[in-house]
Amino acid sequence: MTWVTWRQYRYQGALAAALFAALAVVLLLTGLHAAHVWHSALTGCAKNGTCASLTGSGLSLSSPTFLTLVVATSAVPLLPGLFWGAPMVAGELEAGTHQFAWTQSITRRRWLAVRAGWLLLAAAVLAGAVSAVVTWWSGPYNALNADAFQVNRFDITGIVPAGYAVFAMALGICAGTLLRRTLPALAVTLAGFTGLRALTALWLRLHYMTPVTVYYKLTAPFTPAGSYLGISQGWIGPNGQPPVPGPGNYGFDGEAVPAVCEKFMSGPRPDPLPCLMAHGYRGFVTYQPASRFWAFQGIEAGIFVVLAAILLAVTFWVLKRRGA
């Protein structure tokens, strides 16, 4: 069955390998350049003692085109699921070739297991390889911008792309088996994958672990170290509530200034902070520390792999139960 799978997918496999090679070459060249620029900048700032302000210095590591290309690899894990997963069963049903395959001396379960197994592995390897290159390429960027934990950075680096790819493949196979037609299965895979990715990136990921909240004096703002994942930030009063804007409707640093401190908002350099502190106002930041990056990678990859396992179980069950 392995030989059969190879025979049927070798051209697609070669195409995927060629596309990956092309992407790797582009990223290798631009990545080497970015690393070079980054290291010279570090050496330069160390001499001048300006390394603290390097982030806001407008240092350009690469052209925006390549950054866009790297962000676009976010879609890579979807592609094997779309083009190999969705047609895996549905394409056979549409062409009638399942009647050939399933009347050879092999059970449908084994046919599905071997074929799905290799495709899942191929998808994980492809997405993992792209992610490996992207992770290396993003090193200087993430160091410069402290954004490794942000949406569109976290999702294209580390191990999560492999998890996404496994999920997309399982979704494609399952949708194709249930719907029996490639095109609707493609649409379901696209919608399901995009929807779940958006849901995890924008909401679920913030809650994998209990976030850390740090309170700080308003005159000494606190910024978490490194590439943290910010959840919320602002001022709270002694009652634990954010300030209620006064009748003047003043704002300071993007926060509302309460009525008691509004008198400090007039004049050329308004500074309500000492007044706010005197009335018990504090700043807070709720976030996931940068040190949790790999834990979060593991949790998110795990979620997608578990969902993939459920989808595959459904596929096996449907294929066993339903007549061909």
Partner 1 sequence: MTPVVETSGLTKRYRRVTALSNCTISVPEGRISALVGPNGAGKTTLLRLLAGLAAPTGGRAEVLGGPPRENPAYLAEIGFLAQEIPLYRRLTAEDHIGIGAHLNPRWDGKLVRERLAGLKIPLDRPAGTLSGGQRAQLALALTLAKRPRLLLLDEPLAALDPLARRNFVAALAEAAAGGGLTIVLSSHLLADIERVCDHLILLAESQVQLCGDIETLLAQHRILTGPRKDTTAIAATQTVVREDTTPRQTTLLVKLNGPVIDPAWTVDEPNLEEIVLGYMSAGQAGHGAGPAGARLSAVGGDR
107-166 binders of partner 1 (CB under 8 A): 107-109
Among 14, 72, 106, 244, binds partner 1 (CB under 8 A): 106
Q: Which is nearer to partner 1, 100 or 294 (CB)?
A: 100
Q: Which is nearer to partner 1, 306 or 324 (CB)?
A: 324
317 binds partner 1 (CB under 8 A): no
CA gap 21, 133 in Å, rounded: 11
| Interface characters, 81-100, with partner 1 (x: CB under 8 A) | --------------xxxxxx
Amino acid at 271: D
Tokens found for residue 247 = 């009748």
∠ CA 58-64-67, rounded to 5°: 105
8 binds partner 1 (CB under 8 A): yes
180 binds partner 1 (CB under 8 A): no
Question: Dihedral sign, CA of 28, 29, 34, 36?
Answer: positive
Question: Dihedral sign, CA of 105, 108, 114, 115?
Answer: positive
Q: Are the C-beta atoms of 5 and 117 separated by less than 8 Å? A: no
318 binds partner 1 (CB under 8 A): no
Among 48, 65, 68, 104, binds partner 1 (CB under 8 A): 104
Pick the piece of the chain touching partner 1 (CB under 8 A) from 24-32, 104-112, 175-183, 278-286.
Answer: 104-112
Q: Are the C-beta atoms of 182 and 87 separated by less than 8 Å? A: yes
Q: Are the C-beta atoms of 106 and 206 separated by less than 8 Å? A: no
CB of 8 to partner 1, least distance (A): 7
Which residues contact partner 1 (rule: CB under 8 A)?
1, 3-4, 7-8, 11, 95-100, 102-109, 320, 323-324
